[in-house]
Amino acid sequence: MASPSPPFGSRVYTSISIALLTGWTLTALGFSALDLLNQSRKYIEPIASISLLTFLACRLLVFLDPSQRAPDGDQDSNSIAHRLTTGYRQSRQHALAMLLFSAAWLYEIASKAVIMFFTTVFGGVMAAAIYNDAFQRVEETVDDPVANASASDLDETSLAQIEDFKDMAGFDPVALFKMIPPQVFIYCAALAWVNLAALTIYVLRISWRSIKVVFGSVPVAEAKK
């Protein structure tokens, strides 16, 4: 006899959770790659990013494979992935460890948010300049000779940087940018920020639940729910 299918609401919740965890796992993977490539990194940065990647990957594994989750009230049959991602609900020691990790994760997210901010600003300025043909203003006539000289200097500098990048990468970035609609970059930037904000809220939620277990404001039995 076939087992009954889960309720529609449960399927929707699982699908949304898998989508969010997939995005967060890829984000943590990007953080880890940046930290490992950064020669001036601190010790806390790779530890925070790799531990965040491990936690999110285990959480994603639990949602992808329902057998990783124990039946209601049966804590002994939990898998390693399930125990790793829910241990902070079951004991104050695990909650304290998760609280420390959460603080490191928030530090990692904040540092990467600063990098994302400057990347978004300068990337937006560069994209706007490319789409508006700012690097081809040498052909335009400016009445003010001072403004004309400044524009020419800017064009020469920008063109030189573009030529250097073309020689290094082997392709024309301006032509590549113009092939992609500007709305795509706007949507991607907005999606990246929404994803980072959602991850921050998720880590803050874990931190808050860990704090309540550590300081005993919530009994461990209730925290397991």
- Per domain, the residue ranges of the chain are 13-68+75-223
Using CA atoms, how far apart are residues 180 and 187, in angstroms rounded to an integer? 12
Percent of the chain with pLDDT over 90: 33
CA 16: distance to chain centroid? 17
Indicate whether this model's pTM tops 0.95. Answer: no
- The arithmetic mean of pLDDT across residues 180-195, rounded, is 87
- Of residues 183 and 4, more confidence is placed in 183
Token pair of 146 as six digits: 């001072």
Q: What is the mean pLDDT of the chain?
A: 76
Q: Cα angle at 19 between 65 and 21, to 5 degrees?
A: 70
CA distance 52 to 46: 10
For the cut 80, the answer to whether the pLDDT of residue 50 exceeds it is yes
